[in-house]
Structure 1
Amino acid sequence: MTAATLTLRPATDADLPALARLMSGANPRHPVTPQTWAQEIAELRGHPLGLHFTQWLAEQDGQPVGTALTLHLAGMHHPDRYWAEVLVPPPHARRGVGGRLAATLEAHLQARGAREVLSGAYEDEPWALNFLTRRGFSETMRYFDNVLDMAEFDASAWAEESQLPDGLRAVSLAELMAQVGVDAAVTAFHAAFAEVREDVPRSGVATPLTLEVFRARLKGPQFFPEGILLAVTDAGEVVALSELRPNDSDPARLDTGLTGTRRAWRRRGLALALKLAALRLAGDMGIREVWTGNADTNLPMLALNERLGFCPRPAFIEMRWGGV
């Protein structure tokens, strides 16, 4: 491949199938379907903060070979902070595609006056880390994928830890919706979710999560109310949660969303009890693997996952250029 034969253009909604294939090929650990990516783009475009999003497609003789994207982070928003990615699957890598995409991306961010850019790569991809280092990026955090082989998980060994304290009951979001109505259930779920996520380790200050934005999050193809386990008081307050969501590309895999407990209710084993309920559900569904992700600074959750039998995979290294 030569640079003269490579063309770059802004991606359109018609390119979603090709974009999903490229993104999944470049990061097979976390594949994405056209439906899921379309939903994520829709959430960005419809966000009340007016988030920026742009994606490009690289083509060789009319065939998609790579993509680059940049966006404002909804969960950690600053108008001059951007997330950026260059994604080239192995068959097309090291042929100049990534360099051309990066140059286009850098020019776009420079024109927008970006003061901070976040990106990253896995620790077993030294070429990608070097690609970022050469462009002035340095490490900020590490995130571990932790994977549980359900064939190795024995729910009966956790009978005592599976029990919630008196005054609390474990229900799924689907069950809570049936009991109190959709609006009341989502409002109670949001109150807990919004508080718990504020304490999740990240490289910037968390943006408050409004109920409006939260409702939009529940409309995607990965919304699985039966897999959202909640600890609820007699008064109807949600005080802890553990989320499972389907993996669109692998029906035998479930991914973990947020797990945690509201501040006033911590150190009572609620998160562990709900996580165990989620894993029992996964076992009943015949799931092969459950994946979860944790920052290297989240020592309590890393220790909990290790106790449960989750095994760490190579870390994703978040890197930063500049700062706000």
Structure 2
Amino acid sequence: MASCGVLLYVLGVCVFAGKAHCFVELVCDNQSSGQFDHQSMLNCVIIPTQGTEDVNIQVVFWRNTKIKDPVLVFNSNEIKPKSGYKFAESSWNKTNMNVSLLITSTKVENEGEYTCYVITDSGEARSKTRLSVTAKYDEPKVTLIKKIDIPNADKALICTASGGYPLGQIRWFDNANTEWTKGAKLKVKKMDNGLLELSSKLPLWPASTFPEYTCVVYNSSGQKEHESVIKLDAPDDAKESPTQEYIYEVSDSKASANTSSIVAPILVIGSLIVGLLLALLIYRRRANQVRRPSATPFLDPHMKSPTEDPDV
């Protein structure tokens, strides 16, 4: 009730002062940005005009337009701040023209438009400023699930990043840096502290699955914050589908072992073939020698030689 009374008093004085001459101006930054769980400051300074000097402040009134009660009031030489708010200068007094507001630990609910009213012995003024709250997303976590309810897809990747604000985005890339974000579905969950949790689900189709995927988290300004890489194992049915191509990572030791296992059978088979060819060649040579006719014909021992003289 007291704060409502102060507000009515301030508004009444402002209406009256609007008809009188005002020799002060209140200048505030149009926009301020605060980081979650850190201090944030809304800068506002009273500037005397027309050579006015020795200005004394009578009332300062800070209000967040989303909240009914003021967050800080100075009236009758007494400062009444709401928890988590105070003047930016700890030794502030009524002659200090810096009436900036300090938020000690910024939360999402602190975001919004603020109005500052001041009443001095040289006139009154008011101005508005706005606070934007940001929070960086945590490192994303990527998991592989094998049972999904998406037709024609047997697997899916889920990338989750939490603790960020405002709304960011998750994008997917394969090992060739080709983007697959259009095929993913993003879900946004508001946490108890007002921060956001992003969860992106990317279906994996059997005909277009790659060995490596990267989940990249971007903030609301499109700036990259984190990324996480997941490497997929070779499919279980790779041996049963020789027409389908897969990519594997093979270490040097495995490569040499595979080479040895292939070369050894080839050497054995080659040796057998050479041996069979040699045996066949020897056999054919021996057969030819048996069939060759003699240079001297075989004669009957009772027959006379044609060179012998019958009269001898």
TM-score by length of 2: 0.23
Q: Which has the higher contact order (CA 8 A, sep 6+)?
A: 1
Bigger fraction of residues in helix: 1
Q: TM-score if structure 1 supplies the norm length?
A: 0.22
The structure with the larger Rg is: 2
More strand by share: 2
